[in-house]
Structure 1
Amino acid sequence: MNKRRLGLLTGTHAVNDLYQGLVPALLPFMVLERGYSYTAVAGLMLAATGLSSVVQPLFGLYADRHPRSWLVPTGFMVAALGVVLAGLSHSYLLTWIAMVLCGLGIAAYHPPATVAARAAGGASQKAMSVFSVGGTIGASFAPVLAATVVSGGSLSRSYLLGVPALAMGVVWMAANAGSGAACAATAAAARKAGAEVLKPHNDWRAFSLLVATIIGWSIPYVTVLSMLSLRITRDLHGTAFQGAAALTSFTAAGAVGTLLGGWLGDRIGRMGTIRAGYLLALPSLAGLVLAPDAGWALACTALLGMCMFLPFAAQVTLAQDYLPRNPATASGITLGLALSVGGLVSPLFGMLSDAHGLGVTLMTVLCVLCVATVLALRLRNRSMQAMPAEVEGAAA
């Protein structure tokens, strides 16, 4: 494990996902200052997140065919530029275009950065979990940063939101200074040595099963995240504080579960971790569905957040091993397109809630999670054979 490289990439992930979190954090201030309607806000959110999820696999294809280390800093710098321009633009059209720019930057960052983090972490699942939690930490600071910089009708100060990206860009350049010639030499050596090694084939059938499993995970996750507070305050007659505490505990438990999943993956194997996560998430979600009061729901929420994220890091590395010839594409599809399905179908569950109540909706997503669990139990591990020493040294 290259801890120094992994730490640098984790820092870039925190900065990149900070800007991903700033998109929804800035929208309320735009409504107050510019008078945007809910439809206009939804359009901005779609521009930033929907397009990003769709094009992320395309950036993965590009990163597989033309590996470029500059995609990592370019990604979070472009995302920062989009956020800054969205805050400074007075025209809705320009704001929408700026949100698209932000989404493209976020999409460009994730595939190459995830592959680089896997390389820096070696065979460790814990390394991938640390890299993943870096993004969670960055996103968690977004509301605080937005409120600090632009509160009180001060969207004109949005240029200050670009400071974290500029600082991380300087750190990235300093960390990689003087490595251009060395990288070119090692890349040439890797190509020469790799020409003598037959790459394992892509297992698209197994990868498709994994994508279906992740989609089955995404739908319950997004639905619970969207309706958890309403479930506690309206159905279980909890306080507004308890509703907010549930959301916080769900997110925080997810970060803990990601780290715990990486630790377990190194000890019991990633397949055991994936299966344990899904199997333990079922009774946790059932407990939330059947909770008699807000206190019980809070306890089940924390357990659910931890269990749902136990498989996260293991699923990323498994996807890359299913597609060893296209690891960036695998990352783009699993982290982008598959995870976004939950958001795309969320309006349908909103309509179901309006018609039949939140209890019926949560029972429905529990059934979806059951299907995902069955699919997860059918997944099989795939370990890549170790490369010859000269190839491994060149790739390092």
Structure 2
Amino acid sequence: MSLGHACVDVYQGAVAALVPFFVSERAYTYAAASGLVLAASLLSSVVQPLFGALTDRWAMPWLLPVSALLGGAGVAMSGVSGSYALTLAVVAVSGMGVAAYHPEAARVARHASRGSHTAMGSFSLGGNLGFATAPPLVAAVIATGGLGATPLLVVPALVGAALCAAALRALEAPGAPKVSDAAPDANEAGGRDDWASFARLSGAVVCRSIVFVGLSTFISLYARQRTGGGEVSGTAALFVLYLGGAVGTVAGGRLATRYRRITVVRWSYALTVLAVAGVVLVPGPSLYAFVALTSAGLYVPFSLHVTLGQDYLPRRMGTAGGVTLGLTVSIGGLAAPFVGAVADAASLQTALAPLIALPALGWVLLRTLREPEPPALPAPPPPADREAPPEARPPTGPADEPVPGGETRRQPW
């Protein structure tokens, strides 16, 4: 599941990684380039809660390999046509595939992990590694033949679909928790849904999302300006932003086992305020250190958002997973065109400056939240007895030995 998540989230990172190449090869403005991010995010934002609601009612594990293929196909076709409208359309299809994947994947991963914060951190880590892989992968593909080589980007989707199918087969094996039975009817699930707390958590997730998408869309171009480097410096900045998330996600799962999740999430948002300020205001090579710090601050609460949301909505885990895991990225794309428009009118630094305030707003929303009680998960099935009971075994000796009293005694061999 973690490796399949990595393959799917390559396509969330790939859209932002393609932006500088669309700017250089097709002379897109900042607003036009950020429109591609909007196209991937808008449809995703609309359909993701729908898929979450569906997975609350019915288990749909088949969505995992199908959505992986859909996400890859859209990005693979993005550079084939010179038409801006067609490029928007195929990127939107990719966004829909990614949207369909996350609610069901979060449900299946939580079921397989039996509520373990560390295991869910590993699942989220897979997605973060997919993000981190996107910039060098896109740069390598574009280097072979420009934007016309984007069909090569379908390869991770093929691998991801195969991995998802293998994971589902393993979960349906004898003795494994049946993933097809993991979506109980909402009226029969235990616990109460705390929509007020979930709404505040979702507000913080939106703040985090706008910061992340705003930086991932423009950090490559911004790093070139602030460091005076070329394409390599921009790709390196985006790679650091994504790769630092791997460290942050692992740290988040570990910290949550020692401290309360809410405490860890609050401190992460507070750290992100200072880190984003450094990215926007500090020039030169030290920019990369603040990018790494920002990445850690944004990603430490990443998997914790998912488990908190599912514990606030124990009867709607699909919806909770779709909002906290999928919309974490997609909803921020709705603000990307506004950031691009300000950058066109003024400068990238002016456009990115408001991002400093958003983690602070997220911290305010989280300040009064309480740690929820985790829902009761089904107990693991008892191990299958691999050996037949003694009375069912055939005789292994030549014959049973009669003993006084009319009884028989099994020969020791």
Instruction: Provide the TM-score with structure 2 as the length reference.
Output: 0.76
Structure 1 residues without counterparts, runs of 5 or longer? 1-8
1:383 Cα deviation (Å)? 1.5
Q: 1:371 pairs with 354, 357, 361, which one?
A: 361
Quote the residue 2:97 is aligned against: 105
State the one-letter code of the partner of 2:251: L
1:348 Cα deviation (Å)? 3.2
1:173 Cα deviation (Å)? 3.9
Q: 1:269 pairs with 235, 238, 260, which one?
A: 260
Q: What is the alpha-carbon distance in structure 1 between the residues aligned to residue 170 and residue 264 of structure 2?
A: 40
Q: 2:61 pairs with 69, 72, 82, which one?
A: 69
Q: Check whether the contact 2:106–2:325 (CA below 8 A) recurs between aligned residues.
A: no
1:16 Cα deviation (Å)? 0.9
Q: What is the alpha-carbon distance in structure 2 between the residues aligned to residue 295 and residue 188 of structure 1?
A: 50
Q: 1:199 pairs with 178, 190, 193, which one?
A: 190
Structure 2 residues without counterparts, runs of 5 or longer? 383-413
Deviations 1:253-298 (A, max 9, x none): 222111111111112131221122122223333444553x424443
2:378 maps to 1:382: no
Q: Check whether the contact 2:129–2:242 (CA below 8 A) recurs between aligned residues.
A: no
2:309 maps to 1:323: no
Change in Cα spacing, 1:118 to 1:91, as seen in structure 2 (3 Å) is same
Q: What is the alpha-carbon distance in structure 2 between the residues aligned to residue 57 and residue 279 of structure 1?
A: 28
Quote the residue 1:125 is aligned against: 117
2:283 maps to 1:332: no
Q: Check whether the contact 1:124–1:266 (CA below 8 A) recurs between aligned residues.
A: no
Change in Cα spacing, 1:102 to 1:243, as seen in structure 2 (3 Å) is closer
SS of 1:141's partner is helix
Q: What is the alpha-carbon distance in structure 1 between the residues aligned to residue 266 and residue 306 of structure 2?
A: 14
Deviations 1:360-386 (A, max 9, x none): 555533233222112122221111343
SS of 1:378's partner is coil
Deviations 1:113-170 (A, max 9, x none): 0111122222322222221121222233334444544545476665543333334434
State the one-letter code of the partner of 1:19: Y
Q: Check whether the contact 1:53–1:107 (CA below 8 A) recurs between aligned residues.
A: yes
SS of 2:300's partner is coil
Quote the residue 2:248 is aligned against: 257
2:239 maps to 1:217: no
Q: Check whether the contact 2:136–2:235 (CA below 8 A) recurs between aligned residues.
A: no
Quote the residue 1:135 is aligned against: 127
1:73 Cα deviation (Å)? 1.0
Q: Check whether the contact 2:208–2:328 (CA below 8 A) recurs between aligned residues.
A: no
2:291 maps to 1:301: yes
**Identity value in percent:** 39
1:247 Cα deviation (Å)? 3.7
SS of 2:241's partner is helix
Matched pairs, number: 380
1:183 Cα deviation (Å)? 9.7
Query: How large is the Cα RMSD of the aligned pairs?
Result: 3.8
State the one-letter code of the partner of 1:140: A
Q: What is the alpha-carbon distance in structure 2 between the residues aligned to residue 252 and residue 22 of structure 1?
A: 14
1:85 Cα deviation (Å)? 4.5
Quote the residue 1:3 is aligned against: none
Quote the residue 1:165 is aligned against: 157
Q: Which moved more, 1:124-133 or 1:137-146?
A: 137-146
Change in Cα spacing, 1:357 to 1:106, as seen in structure 2 (3 Å) is closer
Q: What is the alpha-carbon distance in structure 2 between the residues aligned to residue 132 and residue 185 of structure 1?
A: 21
1:24 Cα deviation (Å)? 4.5
Q: What is the alpha-carbon distance in structure 2 between the residues aligned to residue 348 and residue 104 of structure 1?
A: 22
Q: What is the alpha-carbon distance in structure 2 between the residues aligned to residue 90 and residue 225 of structure 1?
A: 24
Quote the residue 1:5 is aligned against: none
Q: What is the alpha-carbon distance in structure 2 between the residues aligned to residue 295 and residue 269 of structure 1?
A: 36
State the one-letter code of the partner of 1:275: R
Structure label with greater radius of gyration: 2
Q: 1:312 pairs with 302, 311, 317, which one?
A: 302
Change in Cα spacing, 1:357 to 1:325, as seen in structure 2 (3 Å) is same
Deviations 1:51-78 (A, max 9, x none): 1222111111111111111111111022
Q: What is the alpha-carbon distance in structure 2 between the residues aligned to residue 342 and residue 131 of structure 1?
A: 22
Q: Check whether the contact 1:233–1:243 (CA below 8 A) recurs between aligned residues.
A: yes
Q: What is the alpha-carbon distance in structure 2 between the residues aligned to residue 60 and residue 164 of structure 1?
A: 24
Q: Which structure shows the bigger proportion of residues in helix conformation?
A: 1
Q: Check whether the contact 2:17–2:217 (CA below 8 A) recurs between aligned residues.
A: no
Q: Check whether the contact 2:56–2:183 (CA below 8 A) recurs between aligned residues.
A: no
Q: Check whether the contact 1:54–1:337 (CA below 8 A) recurs between aligned residues.
A: no
1:336 Cα deviation (Å)? 3.4
1:44 Cα deviation (Å)? 4.6
Q: What is the alpha-carbon distance in structure 1 between the residues aligned to residue 265 and residue 177 of structure 2?
A: 39
Change in Cα spacing, 1:101 to 1:36, as seen in structure 2 (3 Å) is farther
Q: Which moved more, 1:336-345 or 1:88-97?
A: 88-97
State the one-letter code of the partner of 2:62: W
Deviations 1:171-200 (A, max 9, x none): 4445544876969995798799x8996521
Q: Check whether the contact 2:170–2:176 (CA below 8 A) recurs between aligned residues.
A: no
Q: What is the alpha-carbon distance in structure 2 between the residues aligned to residue 99 and residue 349 of structure 1?
A: 19
Q: Which moved more, 1:44-53 or 1:325-334?
A: 44-53
Q: What is the alpha-carbon distance in structure 1 between the residues aligned to residue 281 and residue 78 of structure 2?
A: 43
1:37-56 alignment, distance < 5 Å: 38=29, 44-56=36-48
2:239 maps to 1:248: yes
